[in-house]
Structure 1
Amino acid sequence: MTREEAEDFLLDAGSGEDGEFPLLEAAIACAVHEDPSRDPKAALDLARVGVERLARRLERESPEEAIAEAMAGDLRLSGDLFTYEDPDNADIIAVAERRKGLPVALGIYYLHCARKCGLNLQGVDFPGHFLLRIETEEGPLALDPFSEGRVVLPSELTRRALHAGLTPNVADRLDRLMAPVPDRAVLIRLQNNIFARASAVRDYPRAERAALRRALLDPNDHRPWLDVAAAREGQGALAGALEALARATALDGGAALAARAQRERVRLRLN
């Protein structure tokens, strides 16, 4: 798959309905878009084995136990505690090869395998740390893919929410803390991670690619184009930055003021 083919795939995925979003395949396309020289076979093989192991465990274990044991035990997927900022932690192909990564990157494998085995598992856009929500006979449980899929107790959810800066009246609302999000939002969160980390170290080409992938995955959102513009400006590509700002303005008039101010600043540099 070339970078252009990956963009076409992401555009098709982004234009589809949330319920039909191809999470694993789109995540692989994002990784290939970042580095087209790599073979996605490792990611596909890991997902296939994960489905097989989970299906076997579900014959004798509860859903929450089975998925944690299959993903963390059998596949050895875990959070990267020592090199957390490594860009490979946000890359689905590298995660398959290294067996470690960020919570949201690991979570994509959990979600894919669980769905293939008929489990009701969804992503949770928890502040500061991606989690999973699994439906059980006793009610929903939160799982942490970074910590080997362990169950996160309600008291721990509240503590984490307070630590992330949420107010006490929000941090006590488990229904809000565990609200599921569409698969598209899961992959966009991963691209946001890549964009933020790349921008922090002024790797503007990488930041631009991540922002562009967000734009393809959610074609009605103007905000990724603002980030594309910022990344292009960081590279000195001022004409490209102006084009991205024009796209942001066309998508959402609410972005017009911010985009106009940014556009005028870029124009001054261009002239």
Structure 2
Amino acid sequence: MTRDEAEAVLTEAGLAGDDAFPLLEASIACAIHDQPFRQAGPVRVLAAYAAERLAERIGGERMEDALAETMAGDLRLNGDLLHYDDPANTDLIDVAERRRGLSAALAVFYLDAARRTGLTCAAVDFPGHVLLRVETPDGPIALDPFSEGRVVMPSELTRRALRAGLTPHIADRLDVLMAPVTDRAALIRLQNILFSRALKSGDYEAAERSALRRALLAPEDHRPWLDVAAAREKRGALTSALEALARARGVDGPAEVGRVQILERVRMQLN
């Protein structure tokens, strides 16, 4: 798959409704968009095997145990503690090969297997760390894909939230801490991680690519195009930056003011 072909997949995914969002294929397209011409077959094989093993476990074990044992036990998917900042930890193709990654990338395999087998599972946009919410007969349970899918107790959720800087009256609210997000939002969060890392390292081309993927996945959101423009401005592609700003046109309120300010700054550099 070429980069253009990956963009076509992401464009189609962006137009899909949340209930029909193709999480696995969109995640593969994101990885290939970053590094084209790689084989995605192993990712699909791993995902299919995960669904097969999970289907065998469901019914004989508690839902949360079946999911954790399948993903962390059978597939050996786990967080990479030793090389946390390794770019491979955010790339689904690399994660499938290494069986190591960040929680936002590992969550893709958990969510895909859950969807295929009928489990109700969703990502939780927890501060600093993606968690998973699994609906069980006894109520929702939080799992940590980075730590072998283990259950995160409510008291630990509160401690993590306080360490992340949330105020006590928010950190005590499990309905807020465990609020589910869509598969689309989960994949966009992974692209946000890539964008932040690329900016920090000065790799503005990688930052532009990750922002562009977000723009394709969420076509009604102006903010990714502002990030595309910022990355292009950083690398001196001012005309392209103006084109990205034009894509963000049409928003109202304070966001429009910010867009106009960026637009004028870039235009001044062209004069």
* Shorter-chain TM-score tier: over 0.9
| Superposed displacement of residue 228, structure 1 | 0.2
* Per-residue CA distance 1:191-229 (angstroms, 9 max, x = gap): 001101011001011100000000000001000011001
Aligned to 1:243: 243
Aligned to 1:259: 259
Aligned pairs (5 A) from 1:142-221: 142-221=142-221
Aligned residue type for 1:25:
E
Aligned to 1:74: 74
Write the distance in 2 (CA, Å) between the matches of 1:140 and 1:180: 10
Write the distance in 2 (CA, Å) between the matches of 1:11 and 1:252: 24
Given that residues 50 and 70 in structure 1 are in contact (C-alpha distance below 8 angstroms), is that contact kept between their aligned partners in structure 2? yes
| Superposed displacement of residue 185, structure 1 | 0.2
Aligned to 1:63: 63
Given that residues 221 and 251 in structure 1 are in contact (C-alpha distance below 8 angstroms), is that contact kept between their aligned partners in structure 2? no
| Superposed displacement of residue 59, structure 1 | 3.8
SS at match of 1:250: coil
* Per-residue CA distance 1:23-64 (angstroms, 9 max, x = gap): 011100111111112100111111011111111122421110
Aligned residue type for 2:135:
E
TM-score (norm 1): 0.98
SS at match of 1:143: strand
Aligned to 1:22: 22
Aligned to 2:12: 12
Write the distance in 2 (CA, Å) between the matches of 1:141 and 1:131: 10
Write the distance in 2 (CA, Å) between the matches of 1:115 and 1:17: 15
How many pairs are equivalent? 271
SS at match of 1:236: coil
Write the distance in 2 (CA, Å) between the matches of 1:251 and 1:3: 29
Write the distance in 1 (CA, Å) between the matches of 2:201 and 2:239: 23
Given that residues 126 and 177 in structure 1 are in contact (C-alpha distance below 8 angstroms), is that contact kept between their aligned partners in structure 2? yes
Write the distance in 1 (CA, Å) between the matches of 2:132 and 2:180: 8
Aligned pairs (5 A) from 1:12-51: 12-51=12-51
| Superposed displacement of residue 3, structure 1 | 1.1
Given that residues 43 and 96 in structure 1 are in contact (C-alpha distance below 8 angstroms), is that contact kept between their aligned partners in structure 2? yes
Given that residues 220 and 251 in structure 1 are in contact (C-alpha distance below 8 angstroms), is that contact kept between their aligned partners in structure 2? no
| Superposed displacement of residue 249, structure 1 | 2.5
Write the distance in 2 (CA, Å) between the matches of 1:95 and 1:270: 42
Question: Residues 15 and 253 from structure 1, CA distance in 2 versus in 1: closer, same or farther, beyond 3 angstroms?
Answer: farther
Aligned to 2:84: 84
Write the distance in 2 (CA, Å) between the matches of 1:253 and 1:101: 39
Write the distance in 2 (CA, Å) between the matches of 1:96 and 1:262: 39
Of all paired residues, the percent bearing the same amino acid is: 63
Given that residues 249 and 255 in structure 1 are in contact (C-alpha distance below 8 angstroms), is that contact kept between their aligned partners in structure 2? no
Q: Which runs of 5+ in 2 are unaligned?
A: none
Write the distance in 1 (CA, Å) between the matches of 2:139 and 2:253: 42
Q: Which runs of 5+ in 1 are unaligned?
A: none
SS at match of 1:67: helix
Aligned residue type for 1:143:
L
1:134 partnered with 2:134? yes
Aligned residue type for 1:140:
P
| Superposed displacement of residue 267, structure 1 | 1.4
